[in-house]
Amino acid sequence: MECGIFILPKIYQSHTVKFLVKFLLLCLLGPAVYSQVTFDCGNAVPICSNTPINGGSTGFGIDDFAGTTSSGCLEQTTSGSIESNSAWYRFRTAASGQLGFNIGHNSSEDWDFALYQTSDCSNLGDPVRCNFFDNSEGKSFIGVGEDPTGDMDSVHYEDWLQVNAGEDYILFINNFSNVNSGFSIQFTGDIWTMNPNTALDCSIVSNLLGPPVAACENDTVVLDATTSGAIAYAWYRDDGSGFQNISGQTGATLNVSNSSVYRVQVTTPTESIISEVQVGFNAMPITGVVSDEAFCLLPGDSFDLETKDWEALGGQSAQEFMVSYHVSQVDADAGINALPKLYIKSPGQETIYIRTTSMANPNCYDASIAFLLTGVETPILTFGDQATYCEGSVGVIIGETLPNPNYSYSWSTGEQTPNITVSQDGQYTITVSHSSQGIVCESSMDINVINSRPPVIEEIEIDDLKANNTVTVHTVEDHEYEYQLNDGDFQTTNRFSDVPAGVHTVTIRDPYGCGELTEDIVVVGFPAIFSPNGDVLNESWHIEGLSELNAPIVTIYDRYGKLIAQMTEFNAGWDGNFNGKPLPSTDYWFKLSYLDNDGNRVFAKYLQSHFSLRR
């Protein structure tokens, strides 16, 4: 297998994750076809803090699970055994806290993992974290903790691991389909916040030149092979065709600026020490110029910062570099507190600081560019969309009574004031505008204006001849009036039920304050027809409920206005005779008067004041 640094797409920090992230990069060397880069668990690659890892593997390799069909959640792959293009790593915690990791890979490939808490490959036991889901969703990350892309529901992520100092772990990474282009590992969790350089124990890495080194282009890496008692140093470099001596380099240190595998041979009086280390240089991004942005804003609106990514990348690959946004230069430089891509903006202008970061090495970044993001407040119309004016008044004021001096107002009538006075029915449209930063944000509203008139009673319908009667009040205007009987509550219906006989007060009012009408009504009952023909039925005409009135008098007239009879509450009724002689069958009229509370005699209104005599 050719040695190299696999640079895979990945996002090293999500806006929901407020912890430091440490990338690990390692080019794994070994036999080529049909062998693992890391042969087996016994040769697991030690991982140390600050050791960036990018790995890859080829071939099915040796089955360390001895033909078993499963280990934890892992099952046999297309190779017929659990292992397929697998790699083994080991690490030891040097601090306590929450620990996770992201395994980044090509989204078209299917990778699995198992994490064992042990240092004994012959007794792995069950994994403490394990994931064997297929990658039908085309995800780019599997791991423990949180998906760095912000997918909180990813089935490819297991719960965080709570660790203590001094615990040994073995991480097994496996390719299900035997089709791979490598993977990367990035450690995460709050264990790195308090221990950014010492979360993992580096004593497990035994190498004079130390663990592999990841640097940024144009950096200079100093390799230090200083050894007590050394009498000679020789340096070599392997670019893929074997180690070649670096002429003139005979000191204890070597300054390197190119990716390669470096070897030092240290000669002492008693021995010759050989040590090798891989140094990888990652591209340094350059953030493009990003234009200022202004947009219309309502409360709770967000701006999609991702729409600015293409400007920041300026043609650089989104598979190699990621863009994050921050509220301060300090946060951008540190790569912390990244803003969510859907950023909820408050009104006004603020500076957004951009960090463009290498996905392979977060230390390679550019945070030199910022842009202005302005949220122009869109007017919010809080006044009502309906108004009523009273007939005969000067009109009603509609629109904004507490105008914003930064806004402009325009009406469908052509007026340019925040509010207007109208005295005609109809629909009026107001448009409120706010101009800032070269854009205009508008809100419009249609206001319906109606004319309301005072109530006028047309008729009061009484369903009588009952112990409790129904009274229905009819008005001249078909309008939404409110009705009250005596001292009861106002109601929107014009019908009153269970009304006893007697004098009652009906009040009708306009709900918009355009007038009120109060009338006294008399609720009594009388037959519409009577027949004094000697059959004992309906022999007399009378009014029910007279006893509820004060000194009632009923006067009966013929169609010509001639007084025919007069009754009080003490009369049994009218028998249809005048001066002892029967009157003909026809209609007759009556009036009912009584004394009001002031002692005045008044006539009852709204009664159907006629009835029929039939013989």
Same domain as 172, residue 225: no
Same domain as 478, residue 357: no
Residue 311 neighbours by CB distance under 10 Å: 17
Report the alpha-carbon distance of residue 32 to residue 53 in Å, rounded: 20
Highest mean pLDDT among 166-175, 189-198, 604-613: 166-175
Same domain as 371, residue 333: yes
Q: What is the CATH number of the domain that holds 593?
A: 2.60.40
61 pLDDT tier (thresholds 50, 70, 90): low
The domain boundary residue, chosen from 204, 234, 252: 204
| Closest C-alpha to 24, from 162, 173, 128 | 173
Same domain as 479, residue 549: no
Q: Which of 388-397, 456-465, 513-522 is predicted with the least confidence, judged by mean pLDDT?
A: 456-465
Same domain as 406, residue 316: no
Same domain as 299, residue 275: no
DSSP string, 479-494: ---EEEETTS--BSSS
Examine the pLDDT at 457 and tell me if it is beyond 50: yes
Mean pLDDT along residues 143-149? 87
* 2 inside domain: no
Same domain as 585, residue 461: no
Mean pLDDT along residues 178-193? 81
Same domain as 98, residue 198: yes
* 1 inside domain: no
Q: What is the CATH number of the domain that holds 115?
A: 2.60.120.380
Report the alpha-carbon distance of residue 494 to residue 269 in Å, rounded: 117
How many structural domains compose the chain? 6
* 367 inside domain: yes
Which pLDDT belongs to residue 108? 87
The domain boundary residue, chosen from 377, 403, 433: 377
Mean pLDDT along residues 418-427? 94
Mean pLDDT along residues 325-350? 92
Residue 314 neighbours by CB distance under 10 Å: 14
User: What's the chain's length in residues?
Assistant: 615
Domain that holds residue 267: 213-282
Provide φ and ψ at 40, rounded to 5°.
Answer: -160, -175
463 pLDDT tier (thresholds 50, 70, 90): confident
Examine the pLDDT at 36 and tell me if it is beyond 60: no
Which pLDDT belongs to residue 606? 82
Provide φ and ψ at 202, rounded to 5°.
Answer: -80, -5
Same domain as 182, residue 75: yes
Reading the block at residue 141, the tokens are 């990350």
* 161 inside domain: yes
Cα 477 to the center of its chain, rounded Å? 49
Examine the pLDDT at 504 and tell me if it is beyond 70: yes
* 58 inside domain: yes
Same domain as 142, residue 191: yes
Exposure string for 519-536, b = 16+ CB within 10 A, e = fewer: eebbbbbbbeebbbeeee
- Contact status, residue 461 vs residue 475, Cβ threshold 8 Å: no
Report the alpha-carbon distance of residue 496 to residue 481 in Å, rounded: 14
Q: Is 294 exposed, middle or buried (0-12, 13-18, 19+ CB in 10 A)?
A: middle
Same domain as 137, residue 196: yes
Query: What does the mean pLDDT of the chain come to?
Result: 85
Which pLDDT belongs to residue 419? 96
Which pLDDT belongs to residue 181? 73
Residue 96 neighbours by CB distance under 10 Å: 16
Examine the pLDDT at 538 and tell me if it is beyond 90: no
Mean pLDDT along residues 97-112? 89
Which pLDDT belongs to residue 22? 32
Reading the block at residue 130, the tokens are 């394990």
CA distances from 128 to 82, 117, 169, 344 (A): 17, 7, 10, 39
Question: What's 270's DSSP letter?
Answer: S
Same domain as 140, residue 86: yes
- Contact status, residue 255 vs residue 222, Cβ threshold 8 Å: yes
The domain boundary residue, chosen from 431, 452, 473: 452
* 12 inside domain: no
> DSSP 3-state assignment of 200?
strand
* 6 inside domain: no
> DSSP 3-state assignment of 331?
helix
* 10 inside domain: no
